């Protein structure tokens, strides 16, 4: 690692022997361990960051579960609604991940700051639009079949969470700006410095100050804005970002339409994936004994989100490596990086799935004291394990799509496999065979499997040399159309 905190950029093309450099397929390399070690320099801190950042949600759900089943169910519905909005912002921010990573690989460092500012402008506008439905969430939740009491409480909590939405509109672009440059250690340090105080203050707010869920959400709001502010201070004052952040510029308002198009494509691709499983919680609320169904499913999804930190870190690493290498014109290095990440992520996911199966009777008690809910969690663990294994491959493939700019193509694959096949199949199994939430989940697993096979076929048969040429040409066009030297 260099003295300024940035991981030194590794030209993966040097890791591939000449005898294995082909133009159209993901091939085998004589040095997979060398590439894996290169990825680990990004992967290890990425795992820590994603785990720490999501731990605040897990901690909140755990505290809510010990406050009562009603509190946990209400918070779960509120988080499900808000996560849809977070998903929009995070996925739109992936446009910066694509263009920023390719620009860094191509040595176009000064454009990184411009891209980040364009992303902030677009995401702030999106956050404003997304905040509007939050004020009408109670009737919307009732339309989706939630009970009146849960809908009322969830709607109130949702309004309390709105400050986090606007903080996220700034946070996601800043975070991806740093990721594109492999500046991961600063993000890790910021995350570590905030998570422990947040845990302590959340407990104090809930049990000592008797503020219940509202107090926890207030702590989260403050923590989210602090995280965003510290990131911005690092970017504007660190030597590591001097070449990529040169102040605010009116250039950020140029080419917004093109940037918005890629942002929307990224959003559609990722939202179709994330909403797929959020639908489970909404449907669970329409079944008999909804509180038990929602609580058990929420616990399973929290377990998925805890485990998915590793595949998601592979997603980030793959996106960085693939986009950097395509921007640098190293097509076969990009393809090989994707291949190694898929293998590594799949192995880890299988191991975790086996561990969860062995501990299936005890997992529920991590979040609740209810024997009924814990027993229901145990029944869902086999479906949980299958989902974990699929996510191990799916997230890496999403990273490949982000790094290459394939977002729109993957969106079509998601619509076909998940929404035209998986979800209808799950509903049929649920209601025709009276299998409840397990029937819906079975269909979704089938849809995810089909989606992975489609995207894997695309990745395996891609012409990577052409992808590199397209990336270089697109960056050149953006620079020519964005020429501007006026800074604020």
Please state, in angstroms and rounded to a whole number, the distance separating the CA atoms of residues 407 and 93: 12
334-353 confidence digits (pLDDT tens)? 888 888 888 888 999 999 99
Residue of higher predicted confidence among 34 and 200: 200
Helix axes of 110-134 and 162-180: crossing angle, nearest 10 degrees: 160
356-391 confidence digits (pLDDT tens)? 999 888 888 887 788 888 888 898 899 999 999 998
* CB 24 within 8 Å of CB 464: yes
Please state, in angstroms and rounded to a whole number, the distance separating the CA atoms of residues 39 and 203: 37
Indicate whether 413 belongs to any domain: yes
| Residue 369, token pair as written in the block | 């004291």
Q: What proportion of the chain, given as a percentage, has pLDDT over 90?
A: 15
Please state, in angstroms and rounded to a whole number, the distance separating the CA atoms of residues 93 and 400: 16
Task: Indicate the DSSP class of residue 249.
Answer: B
Indicate whether 70 belongs to any domain: yes
Residue of higher predicted confidence among 459 and 126: 126
What SS3 state is found at 487?
strand
Residue 423: which pLDDT band, with cuts at 50, 70 and 90? confident
Domain count, the chain: 1
Asked which of 137-146, 270-279, 387-396 is least confident by mean pLDDT, the reply is 270-279
The pLDDT score that the predictor gives to residue 302 is: 76
202: pLDDT strictly greater than 70: yes
pTM recorded for the entire structure: 0.76
Hey, which residues does 249 pair with through a beta bridge? 487
13: pLDDT strictly greater than 50: no
Q: Which residues contact 347 (CB under 8 A, 6 or more apart)?
A: none
Indicate whether 352 belongs to any domain: yes
Sign of CA dihedral 17, 322, 43, 398: negative
The pLDDT score that the predictor gives to residue 286 is: 65
24: pLDDT strictly greater than 90: no
* CB 16 within 8 Å of CB 333: yes
Please state the three-class secondary structure of 140-175 as a single string: HHHHCCCCHHHHHHHHHHHHHCHHHHHHHHHHHHHH
Indicate whether 7 belongs to any domain: no
Q: Which long-range contacts (CB under 8 A, 24 or more apart) does 289-292 make?
A: 290/73, 290/146, 290/147, 290/150, 291/69, 291/70, 291/73, 291/150, 292/69, 292/370, 292/372, 292/373, 292/376
Please state, in angstroms and rounded to a whole number, the distance separating the CA atoms of residues 216 and 438: 32
The pLDDT score that the predictor gives to residue 284 is: 66
Widest CA span of the chain, in angstroms? 67
The pLDDT score that the predictor gives to residue 290 is: 63
Taking alpha carbons only, the member of 164, 170, 185 closest to residue 93 is 170
Indicate whether 127 belongs to any domain: yes
Taking alpha carbons only, the member of 408, 416, 415, 398 closest to residue 455 is 398
Asked which of 23-32, 180-189, 220-229, 230-239 is least confident by mean pLDDT, the reply is 23-32
Indicate whether 5 belongs to any domain: no
Helix axes of 290-307 and 32-67: crossing angle, nearest 10 degrees: 150
Indicate whether 366 belongs to any domain: yes
The pLDDT score that the predictor gives to residue 164 is: 92
Q: What is the CA radius of gyration of the chain?
A: 22
Indicate whether 488 belongs to any domain: no
The pLDDT score that the predictor gives to residue 52 is: 79
Q: How many CB atoms lie within 10 A of CB 115?
A: 29
Residue of higher predicted confidence among 129 and 439: 129
Sign of CA dihedral 357, 358, 360, 365: negative
Q: What is the mean pLDDT of the chain?
A: 80
The pLDDT score that the predictor gives to residue 339 is: 85
The pLDDT score that the predictor gives to residue 125 is: 93
Classify residue 282 by burial, with Cβ atoms within 10 Å: 0-12, 13-18, 19+: middle
The range of the structural domain enclosing residue 25 comes to 12-481
């Amino acid at each position: 690692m260099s003295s300024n905190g940035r991981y030194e950029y590794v030209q993966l093309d040097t890791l591939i022997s000449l005898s294995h450099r082909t133009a159209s397929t993901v091939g085998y390399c004589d040095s997979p361990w060398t590439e894996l070690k290169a990825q680990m320099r990004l992967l290890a801190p990425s795992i820590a960051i994603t785990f720490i950042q999501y731990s605040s949600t897990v901690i909140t759900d755990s505290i809510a579960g010990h406050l009562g089943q009603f509190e946990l169910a209400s918070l779960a519905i509120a988080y499900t609604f808000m996560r849809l909005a977070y998903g929009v912002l995070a996925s739109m921010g992936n446009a910066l991940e694509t263009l920023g990573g390719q620009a860094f690989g191509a040595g176009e460092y000064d454009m990184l700051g411009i891209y980040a500012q364009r992303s902030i402008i677009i995401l702030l506008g999106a956050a404003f639009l997304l905040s509007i439905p939050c004020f009408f969430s109670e009737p919307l939740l009732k339309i989706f079949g939630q009970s009146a009491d849960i809908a009322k409480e969830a709607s109130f909590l949702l309004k309390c969470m709105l400050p986090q939405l606007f903080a996220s509109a700034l946070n996601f672009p800043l975070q991806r700006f740093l990721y594109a440059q492999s500046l991961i250690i600063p993000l890790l340090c910021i995350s570590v410095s905030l998570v422990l105080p947040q845990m302590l203050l959340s407990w104090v707010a809930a049990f000592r100050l008797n503020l219940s869920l509202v107090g926890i959400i207030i702590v989260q709001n403050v923590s989210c804005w602090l995280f965003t502010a510290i990131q911005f201070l690092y970017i504007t004052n660190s030597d590591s970002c001097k070449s990529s952040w040169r102040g605010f510029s009116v250039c950020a308002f140029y080419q917004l339409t093109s940037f918005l198009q890629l942002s929307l494509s990224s959003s559609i691709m990722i939202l179709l994936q994330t909403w797929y499983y959020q639908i489970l919680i909404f449907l669970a609320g329409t079944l008999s004994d909804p509180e038990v169904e929602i609580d058990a499913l929420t616990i399973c999804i929290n377990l998925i989100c805890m485990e998915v930190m590793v595949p998601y870190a592979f997603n980030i690493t793959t996106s960085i490596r693939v986009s950097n290498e395509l921007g640098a014109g190293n097509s076969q290095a990009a393809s090989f990086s994707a291949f190694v990440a898929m293998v590594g992520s799949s192995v880890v996911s299988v191991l975790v799935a086996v561990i969860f199966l062995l501990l299936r009777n005890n997992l529920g008690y991590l979040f609740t004291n209810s024997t009924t809910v814990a027993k229901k969690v145990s029944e869902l663990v086999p479906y949980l394990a299958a989902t974990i294994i699929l996510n191990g491959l799916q997230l890496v493939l999403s990273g490949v799509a982000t790094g290459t700019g394939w977002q729109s193509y993957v969106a079509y694959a998601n619509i076909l496999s998940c929404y035209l096949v998986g979800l209808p199949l799950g509903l049929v199994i649920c209601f025709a065979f009276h299998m409840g939430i397990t029937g819906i989940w079975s269909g979704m697993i089938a849809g995810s499997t089909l989606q992975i096979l489609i995207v894997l076929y695309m990745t395996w048969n891609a012409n990577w040399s052409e992808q590199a040429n397209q990336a270089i040409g697109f960056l050149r066009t953006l620079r020519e159309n964005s020429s501007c030297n006026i800074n604020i």
